[in-house]
């Protein structure tokens, strides 16, 4: 289901950030839009701009940002126009944990839960034992319709190194088919981290494909 057709999409992006530390707190909310094009020469972001950087509240530092994060890069843009390629990375040599009938947005579906193979090796190159404790956890869920076409995908990653560091990251994609092409319709990301039990941060990003040509 890889998309090898010329495709042009417009994406709306919303980003929220919250961070806390001793005597310090900041909060931002930004919106932007990107136009992405793919063809024989690959995928590229042809326009990308922030529409607003409002909603910032900050102590201890200037509210402005001298190093503004880019709205979209070519790697993530390829995920939006060719999600099958992204899914292949997580599903190749994965371990199937469960396969059960479910309902997805009112439709009959199958839910597959897998553990990606790319995280199954230890530093010495050996596969860990089933009951061997890991400092991380990564599972992927895929919803399929009755014909086997992907409806949605969710991945969740967690890393814990005692009280020093804790990181959780989740990403959910909802797919659509347009003219025989499998594309992302909407993506949601959440990243949260805690360091030394006193530094806390959370980033949320929502992307919505609003036009396809």
Q: Phi, psi (5° rounding) for residue 128?
A: -70, 150
Residue pLDDT, tens place only, 109-156: 999 999 887 655 444 545 555 444 454 567 899 999 999 999 999 998
* Token representation of residue 125: 């190159």
pLDDT of 126 reads 55
Residue 2 within a domain: no
Q: Measure the CA–CA gap between 143 and 152, rounded to whole angstroms.
A: 5
Q: Measure the CA–CA gap between 174 and 182, rounded to whole angstroms.
A: 10
Residue pLDDT, tens place only, 158-206: 876 666 677 888 999 999 999 989 999 999 999 887 765 556 677 899 9
Range of the domain at 188: 7-212
Residue 28 within a domain: yes
Residue 157 within a domain: yes
Q: Number of folded domains in the chain?
A: 1
Q: Measure the CA–CA gap between 143 and 113, rounded to whole angstroms.
A: 9
Residue pLDDT, tens place only, 72-82: 888 899 999 99
pLDDT of 162 reads 63
Answer whether 0.75 is exceeded by the pTM.
yes
Residue 1 within a domain: no
Residue 164 within a domain: yes
Q: Measure the CA–CA gap between 90 and 135, rounded to whole angstroms.
A: 19
Closest by Cα among 103, 80, 105 to 184: 80
Residue 100 within a domain: yes
């Amino acid at each position: 289901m890889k998309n090898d057709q010329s495709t042009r999409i417009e994406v709306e992006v919303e980003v929220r950030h919250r961070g806390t530390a001793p005597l310090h707190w900041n909060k931002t909310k930004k919106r932007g839009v990107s136009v992405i094009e793919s063809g024989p020469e690959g995928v590229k972001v042809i326009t990308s701009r922030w529409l607003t950087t409002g909603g910032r509240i900050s102590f201890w530092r200037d509210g402005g940002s001298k190093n503004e994060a880019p709205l979209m890069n070519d790697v993530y843009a390829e995920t939006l126009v060719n999600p099958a390629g992204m899914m292949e990375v997580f599903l190749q040599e994965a371990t199937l944990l469960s396969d059960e009938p479910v309902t997805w947005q009112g439709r009959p579906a199958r839910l597959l839960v897998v553990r990606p193979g790319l995280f199954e090796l230890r530093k010495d190159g050996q596969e860990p034992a089933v009951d061997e404790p890991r400092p991380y956890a990564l599972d992927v869920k895929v919803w399929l319709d009755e014909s086997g076409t992907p409806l949605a995908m969710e991945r969740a990653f967690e890393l814990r190194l005692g009280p020093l560091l804790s990181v959780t990251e989740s990403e959910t994609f909802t797919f659509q088919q347009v003219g025989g092409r499998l594309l992302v319709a909407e993506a949601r990301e959440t990243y949260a981290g805690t360091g030394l039990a006193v530094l806390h941060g959370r980033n949320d990003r929502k992307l919505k494909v609003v036009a396809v040509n």
